[in-house]
C-alpha cells in the first residue's frame, strides 16, 4: 500500500547515498506510529533528518576511528535483525559526511526513502507512518527478513534505486523459493549398479 506522501526532508542532491537498513515499529500506543533503530531503540524523527550523535567531543559523526554514525548496507544479505514481528525493511538516503565501510556506509544525516512491513504491522499503522514520515510504506505478506533473504544482489540494487518499488516487491513476493536440494540416497541396488 502506498499512501499519498508529502515532500520528505531528504535532499535532492547527487551526493545522497542509498542503502538498506532495518527499523522496528513501536508496540506501545504512544510509539505505534514511529520508527526505531533496532539495536539502540532510538526513535527516528518524522519530517526531518535523523542526525547522528556521538558521545565523544573530539569529532562529529561519523568518526573515522569511532563506530558512530547512521548505518546502511549495500547488500540485504548482511542486514542484522531484531527478533520482532514489527520489523521494517527499507531504503534510506544518507548524506552529509559519509564514510564507506566493507558492507556499506555510516553517515551524519539520514532519512527513509521507502519502507516495507510484514503482516505484523497493521494497515492503520502503515497509513499513519506513511503520513508522518512522508514516504511510501508497502505491505508484504512476507516478513521483511524473508524479503531480505530472497533478494539477490541485482534485484536488491534495482529495488534500492527505483522511485516506486511496488512492482518489484510484488514479483518478489510471488517468487517460489525451493528448499536446497538434498542428495538422494541410493539404495543397495543403486550402490551395486554404481560399482
Give a yes or no: residue 66 inside a domain: yes
Overall number of domains in the chain: 1
Here the cell at position 61 is: 559523526
pTM of the complete model = 0.78
Residue 18 — φ and ψ, nearest 5°? -105, 130
Q: Is residue 109 part of a domain?
A: yes
User: Is 11 contained in some domain?
Assistant: no
- Of 43-52, 148-157, 170-179, where does mean pLDDT reach its minimum? 170-179
**How much is the average pLDDT of 148-156?**
84
Q: What is the structure's pLDDT at 162? A: 78
**Helix H or strand E encompassing 73:** strand 70-73
Q: How many beta carbons lie within 10 A of that of residue 143, not counting itself? A: 19
| Mean pLDDT score of the chain | 79
Relative to beta strand 35-36, strand 17-25 is antiparallel
Judge whether 152 lies within some domain.
Answer: yes
Query: Confidence class of residue 10 from pLDDT cuts 50, 70 and 90?
Result: low
Give domain status of residue 69, yes or no.
Answer: yes
Cβ neighbourhood burial of 174 (10 Å; 0-12, 13-18, 19+):
exposed
pLDDT band with cut points at 50, 70 and 90 for residue 126: very high
Per-residue model confidence (pLDDT) at position 153: 84
Distances (CA, A) of 65 to 60, 74, 191: 11, 21, 59
pLDDT digits over 72-92, tens only? 999 888 887 766 768 899 999
* Domain, as residue range, for 29: 17-174
CB 9 within 8 A of CB 48: yes
Portion of the chain with pLDDT greater than 90, in percent:
41
Q: Indicate if the pLDDT at residue 4 is higher than 50.
A: no
- From 130, 158, 125, 122, select the one nearest 20 (Cα to Cα): 158
Amino acid at each position: 500500500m502506498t499512501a499519498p506522501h508529502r515532500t520528505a526532508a531528504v535532499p535532492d542532491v547527487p551526493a545522497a547515498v542509498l542503502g538498506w537498513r532495518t527499523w522496528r515499529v513501536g508496540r506501545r500506543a504512544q510509539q505505534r506510529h514511529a520508527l526505531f533503530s533496532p539495536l539502540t531503540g532510538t526513535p527516528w524523527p518524522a519530517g526531518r533528518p535523523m542526525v547522528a550523535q556521538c558521545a565523544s567531543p573530539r569529532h562529529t559523526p561519523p568518526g573515522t576511528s569511532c563506530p558512530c554514525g547512521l548505518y546502511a548496507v549495500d547488500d540485504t544479505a548482511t542486514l542484522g535483525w531484531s527478533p520482532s514481528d514489527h520489523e521494517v525493511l527499507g531504503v534510506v538516503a544518507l548524506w552529509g559526511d559519509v564514510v564507506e565501510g566493507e558492507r556499506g556506509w555510516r553517515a551524519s544525516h539520514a532519512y527513509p526513502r521507502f519502507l516495507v512491513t510484514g503482516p505484523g504491522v497493521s494497515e492503520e499503522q502503515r497509513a499513519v507512518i506513511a503520513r508522518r514520515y512522508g514516504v511510501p510504506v508497502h505491505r508484504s505478506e512476507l516478513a521483511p527478513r524473508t524479503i531480505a533473504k530472497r533478494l539477490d544482489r541485482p534485484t536488491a540494487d534495482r529495488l534500492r534505486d527505483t522511485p516506486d518499488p511496488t512492482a518489484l516487491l510484488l514479483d518478489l513476493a510471488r517468487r517460489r523459493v525451493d528448499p536446497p536440494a538434498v542428495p538422494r540416497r541410493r539404495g543397495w541396488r543403486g550402490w551395486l549398479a554404481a560399482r
